[in-house]
Structure 1
Amino acid sequence: MKAIDLFAGAGGFSTGAQMAGCNVVWAANHWQAAVDVHLLNHPGAAHACQDLQQADWTQVPAHDLLMASPACQGHSRARGKDRAHHDAQRSTAWAVVSAAECHRPAMVLIENVPEFATWTLYPAWCAAMNALGYALQPMILDAADHGVAQHRRRLFVVGTQTKHPIELVFPSREHVGSASIIDFDAGRWSAIDKPGRSGATRARVACGRIAHGSRFVMPYYGSGSGLTGRCLSRPLGTVTTRDRWALVDGDRMRMLSTQECRRAMGFPDSYLLPKKHKDALHMLGNAVCPPVARDVINAIRSQA
């Protein structure tokens, strides 16, 4: 099965498609750094760096599966106040319609935040896909249910050239705790009681120790997991585009490393990312978890 990857980013969809036995023949993104990373990891695919709303779809190779992760910031509850900018980001979803109209692949798979389904134009977007012959099956999946050491709820919309939406059946996978992604011998540690440490951080550490003992993870920036963090036997909370999760070990703590965040997303350790942690985390936080993509594609193929 041949696949293409729109808004490919770090390549989570492409990696998951390869896990499912697909041949990714083309990938595109507007950010050159992301295209470069995708090329390093998927050298067999043709690549384009461009605004996909301006793409000439006749130049894209024939394919059976169209995968796309349109910009999610315009839909996410974490979006900023720049409405015009986010309106432009929301419109990227229409590139999927244009690509599907040109090639009419047998299957289309879209990933976004759950709020995508509350977009004012979502019914119109669905109607456009229906007019092209696609029966749509939206579903919200948590990466933790697919063996990823992270709770990450995302909307997947499956489009097939069938009379009715297909019902997908997924394998039952146990949740994996964040302990599986952590290397306690790595990273840059600092003392919890160092001068300048905020009172809020100290309080959260103290509560975490009572709830979980000497080792646990907690949000260092932002909210989530209450005031106590979470034990290492649970999946991590959602990996975002900026540093968020801190690891506490006795009287020391540090932020999760690039390697640990890559594992929390379900990418293999050998997957190449930018050397700068900030750039790597930005790509990972926007990515699709490969094991989830693998399971969805395998489920689609089993019903085809």
Structure 2
Amino acid sequence: MHSLIDSSARSQGLTVTDFFAGAGGSSEGLRQAGYRIDACANHWETAVDTHRLNHPDTEHHLANLHDADMRRFPRTTLLWASPSCVWHTPAGGRKKLPVNEEMSRNDAGALDRATAFAVIAAAEAHAYEAVIVENVPEFADWVLYRWWLDGMRALGYCAQTVVLDAAHFGAPQRRRRWFGVFTRDGAVDLTPPLREAVPAAAILEADLGTRLTRRLYVSAQIDQITDTDVPHLVMYRRNARPRRADQNPLATITAGGNHHGLATVSCTGVYHRMLTNRECARAQGFSDDYQFLGTAKQVKRQIGNAVPVPVARWLGERVAQALADRQAAA
């Protein structure tokens, strides 16, 4: 497609299965890292259609992975999995449950958190050379987290975990996520690069929006702007403050609604608009030729749920290098 492909993974013939693939941020990053995307699976048909449009050579599965027969999927070098994070976050006052209560519950939250066990089932069936798992940092607070890690270790994997911020990888967005990297020797170099955050202005259109004639939810933030003729990022959230778009990355892009606005104060008035889906996609590292299917709301959800492309690429490159080093030492 649009980006240069790393030759290391390609020369090794590395392949990947992408679970909970969504619209394909992880797949796109791994493709850029040189992997062949052999298979992907997701439960949402619209996201699968988007993935198929952009990765037509991949084997696509519309499936609920918590009860899928893992033998349906091909064996690949790598498994990437992004199990649901919704019920791991502390939003809405969600509390950590005792082990016995967590294991006995059959509600939406327990079933959502249990999607992580699909990773163990797939790893047992296919004995991947490496597994990468992505989730929110609160995933490590899950009451069954240690049991889950022990399940991977019982299959012969060494666990390495790290929390990475997409802003350190060229994405103009603050997005901290937990990553677990599982290999046979635990020798993947996960030292994050030292890189300054890219400002949001790098992915914004020139459009300042419309001139305001009434007060908005973000008007209190706009009142704080002192630098004129400079676009500022404003957030439709409590306790937010305006930040210069030419000096700061975006806050985390989410799947639930558009919280990101742009405000500019000038001698002719105050201008405001919401960020577009395409701008949000750029903040996730998608190029402009990556296409999304569905309604505007569905596209927003796909973008907000995606793994930032440059983060997936970097992790794929790190794993490919570790596998190459291991093979050379054998």
TM-score, normalised on structure 1?
Answer: 0.91
What is the aligned counterpart of 1:206 among 194, 209, 223? 223
Cα deviation 1:19-38 (Å, max 9, x = unaligned): 10000000010010110000
Q: Would you say 1:228 and 2:251 are equivalent positions?
A: no
Cross-structure match for 1:179: 201
- What is the deviation of 1:201? 2.0
Amino acid at match of 1:177: P
CA distance in 2, matches of 1:153, 1:288: 11
Paired AA for residue 158 in structure 2? A
Aligned letter for 1:247?
L
Structure 2 distance, partners of 1:141, 1:245, is 22
- Mapped pair 1:119 → 2:108: no
Q: In the aligned structure 2, how far is the partner of 1:38 from the partner of 1:117? A: 29
Question: Which letter does structure 2 place at the counterpart of 1:180?
Answer: A
Q: Measured at CA, do residues 212 and 266 of structure 1 come closer, stay the same or move farther in structure 2, by a change above 3 Å?
A: farther
Correspondent of 2:121 among 91, 98, 117 = 98
Report what 1:246 is aligned to: 261
SS in 1 for 2:89: coil
User: Is the CA contact 2:33–2:313 (under 8 Å) kept in the aligned structure 1?
Assistant: yes
The residue matched to 1:74 in structure 2 has which SS?
Answer: helix
Question: Are 1:110 and 2:147 an aligned pair?
Answer: no
Counting only pairs closer than 5 Å after superposition, residues 117-196 of structure 1 correspond to structure 2 as 117-162=140-185, 164=186, 166-185=188-207, 189-194=209-214
Q: 1:303 to 1:178 in 2, by over 3 A?
A: same
TM-score normalised to structure 2 length: 0.84
Which residue number corresponds to residue 69 of structure 2? 56
Query: d(CA) in 1 for partners of 2:230 and 2:190?
Result: 41
8 Å Cα contact 1:159/1:165 also seen in 2: no
Distance of 1:171 and 1:301 partners within structure 2: 17
Is 1:266 matched with 2:281? no
Inter-partner Cα distance in structure 2 for 1:232 and 1:78:
30
Give the conservation status (yes or no) of the 8 Å contact 2:164–2:192: no
Counterpart-to-counterpart distance in 2, 1:230 and 1:128: 46
C-alpha RMSD of matched pairs (Å): 2.0
**Which residue pairs with 1:216 in the alignment?**
232
> Matched residues in 2 for 1:124 and 1:63: separation?
25
Aligned match of 2:24: 11
Alignment-derived partner of residue 305 in structure 2 = 286
Q: Give the CA deviation at 1:302.
A: 1.7
**In the aligned structure 2, how far is the partner of 1:87 from the partner of 1:192?**
45
> Is this contact kept in 1: 2:46–2:294, CA < 8 A?
no
Instruction: Give the C-alpha shift of residue 170 in structure 1.
Output: 4.2
Alpha-carbon distance in 2 for matches of 1:166, 1:190: 49
Q: Which runs of 4+ in 1 moved over 4 A?
A: 79-83
| 1:212–1:231 contact (8 Å) kept in structure 2 | no
Residue 252 to residue 43, structure 1, CA distance change in 2 (3 Å): same
The CA distance in 2 between the partners of 1:148 and 1:227, in whole Å, is: 21
Larger mean Cα displacement after TM superposition, 173-182 or 65-74: 173-182
266, 274, 285: which one aligns with 1:255:
274
Per the TM alignment, residue 3 of structure 1 is displaced from its structure 2 partner at its CA by 0.1
Q: Shift in Å at residue 78 of structure 1?
A: 2.7
Decide whether the 8 Å contact of 1:16 with 1:294 is kept in 2: yes
User: 1:33 aligned to 46, 66, 77, which one?
Assistant: 46
- Deviations along 1:27-65, whole A, 9 cap, x unmatched? 010010110000001111000111111211112112000
SS of equivalent residue, structure 1 residue 210: coil
Provide the residue aligned with 2:83 in structure 1.
Answer: 70
Q: Percent identity?
A: 39
Distance, in Å, in 2 between the alignment partners of 1:59 and 1:122 is 27
1:121-167 CA distances to partner (integer Å, 9 max, x unpaired)? 000000000000110101000000001110100001000012x4533
Alignment gaps of 5+ in structure 1: none
Distance 1:125 1:173, change over 3 A: same
Write the mapping of 1:73-88 to structure 2, written as runs, cut at 5 A: 73-78=86-91, 84-88=107-111
Instruction: Name the SS for the 2:222 alignment partner.
Output: helix
Count the aligned residue pairs. Answer: 295
* Secondary structure at the counterpart of residue 301 of structure 1: helix
Letter in 1 for 2:302: M
